[in-house]
Structure 1
Amino acid sequence: MAETPDTDIDVAARLATVRDQIAAAAQAHARAPNTITLVAISKKKPATMIETALAAGQRDFGENYLQDALDKIDALADAEPAPIWHFVGDIQSNKTRDIAAHFAWAHAVDRFKIARRLSEQRPDDMAPLNICIQVNIDDEDSKSGVAPPDVPELAARIAELPGVCLRGLMTIPAYSDDFEAQRKPFARLRDIQADLVARGFALDTLSMGMTADIDAAIAEGATHVRVGTAIFGARDT
């Protein structure tokens, strides 16, 4: 089946549907919907679609591809209200300067070297960059992220850096279409964060859950859910 052209996608209506889903999941699990931030994953989508989402009240946008993101950040530099930009992809050393200078969040930090570079390259006139440690919760060879036993040491080192603010943890678990199976890795991530908080870390963010497993993530305490396809349609390959 052919993909729906971008011009035929009703972004505002899709956003409303996703917000309703978030609210329903929150209610089902005794949570307040306003404690869950929707990060609209706009990678490979044009700035015009982000403008439409902004007009519909969406503020937070996630990008994976740096140059594509920088073009959109420039195009929307004067937008009101201003977008809040989240870098959600893998971070290589040659990307840190631009991420530090243009984003409010980095969700996929899994090495101290990357965190240190982000801290050193964060402009002095900007607030510290909010970051999450990416945890490879299912020990998948194909995915980035630090192993769960190594999270406390990395968190301790990152917490000392002045140009970043360690906010919490992020994960992309192995795929499952079973709701209870989806919940298990999210519950493990929540437990890892609870352990860090008990050790004295001031963490408030669990970045977990995407289009296919958003309900399970909310059930286990997600504070940031990352949804792209359900809002903007299928991405070009």
Structure 2
Amino acid sequence: MTDNALPASLASARQRLEHALIDAGRPVNDASLLAVSKTKPASMIRQASALGQREFGENYLQEALDKQAELADLDDLVWHFIGPLQSNKTRAVAENFAWLHTIDRLKIAKRLSEQRPPHLAPLNVCLQVNISREPSKSGVMPEDVEALAQEVAALPGLKLRGLMAIPAPAESLAAQRQPLAEMRKLLSALQKALPDTPLDTLSMGMSDDLEAAVLEGATLVRLGTAIFGARNTT
């Protein structure tokens, strides 16, 4: 995609989210758009920022840190790390991001909490749930979510916000909604189990299943290709 196409594609993505919210009978400000900018140059993030986009999701740590350095003058951007995180990279995330979507084990959560700089607000985190139980995917199993949530919520450097999932692809709207409905029920159960924790986030829904996700209560939808065009692979 050229920079000239970005205004139209971002406007189209916003309109798609708004229509999905209206169709779901939800307020149009009930979910936010996370622009997934992996493999895209900092110049495109700068342009999207000029068009009012503030929240950006990155999957690759070094690439994200390079972009953050290049865009340091844009101090109102909100950076989300949405890729898998290894133990040896937790400090960089703790020091440079506002959100992490992919916690699936206590060891990582403890390291992030310990490494979060005291002058920063607690790191907003979501537990990644392997809602489709795919062997190839990361994430905590649904039956283990509450136990992990109880432990993560007690860590001082973190603020547990909710759940994230990447369900297995499905063709029909009904099939797409099934695992997403399970996510909604999981979050509802967590809200009852942890009444003092502000669990307000369901990070789910991408280009192929945004409408299904919004119908099932997504509050943060992650769109990359729909905004920035096909991913750069070279």
User: What is the TM-score normalised by the length of structure 2?
Assistant: 0.97
C-alpha separation in 2, matches of 1:40 and 1:52: 12
Q: Does the C-alpha gap of structure 1 residues 8 and 56 become closer, same or farther in structure 2, counting only changes over 3 Å?
A: closer
Q: How does 1:48-197 map to 2 (within 5 A)?
A: 48-79=43-74, 82-197=76-191
Residue 169 of structure 2 aligns to a residue whose secondary structure is coil
Residue 94 of structure 1 aligns to a residue whose secondary structure is helix
Deviations 1:157-202 (A, max 9, x none): 0011000000000000000121111011110001011011111243
C-alpha separation in 2, matches of 1:176 and 1:33: 26
RMSD: 1.0
- The match for 2:208 among 212, 220, 223 is 212
AA partner of residue 219 (structure 1): L
AA partner of residue 216 (structure 2): E
Contact 2:3 2:44 in 1 (8 A): no
Residue 215 of structure 1 aligns to a residue whose secondary structure is helix
* CA displacement at 1:9 relative to structure 2: 5.2
Percent of aligned pairs with the same residue?
56
C-alpha separation in 1, matches of 2:133 and 2:4: 37
C-alpha separation in 2, matches of 1:193 and 1:50: 31
C-alpha separation in 1, matches of 2:222 and 2:147: 26
- Give the 4+ runs in structure 1 shifted more than 4 A: none
C-alpha separation in 2, matches of 1:76 and 1:63: 14
C-alpha separation in 2, matches of 1:31 and 1:70: 35
Whether 1:7 aligns to 2:9 is no
* CA displacement at 1:7 relative to structure 2: 2.8
* CA displacement at 1:236 relative to structure 2: 1.9
Residue 226 of structure 2 aligns to a residue whose secondary structure is helix
Contact 2:150 2:194 in 1 (8 A): no
* CA displacement at 1:51 relative to structure 2: 0.6
Deviations 1:61-115 (A, max 9, x none): 00000000000001111126x2100000001101100000000000010010001
Contact 1:9 1:233 in 2 (8 A): no
Residue 177 of structure 1 aligns to a residue whose secondary structure is coil
AA partner of residue 71 (structure 2): L
AA partner of residue 25 (structure 1): A
Residue 151 of structure 2 aligns to a residue whose secondary structure is helix
Residue 85 of structure 2 aligns to a residue whose secondary structure is coil
C-alpha separation in 1, matches of 2:148 and 2:8: 41
* CA displacement at 1:8 relative to structure 2: 5.5
C-alpha separation in 2, matches of 1:117 and 1:89: 17
Gaps of 5+ in 2: none
- The match for 1:222 among 211, 218, 225 is 218
C-alpha separation in 1, matches of 2:4 and 2:58: 19
Deviations 1:100-156 (A, max 9, x none): 000000001001000111100000100000000000001000100000000010000
AA partner of residue 63 (structure 1): E
Instruction: Tell me the matched-pair count.
Output: 231
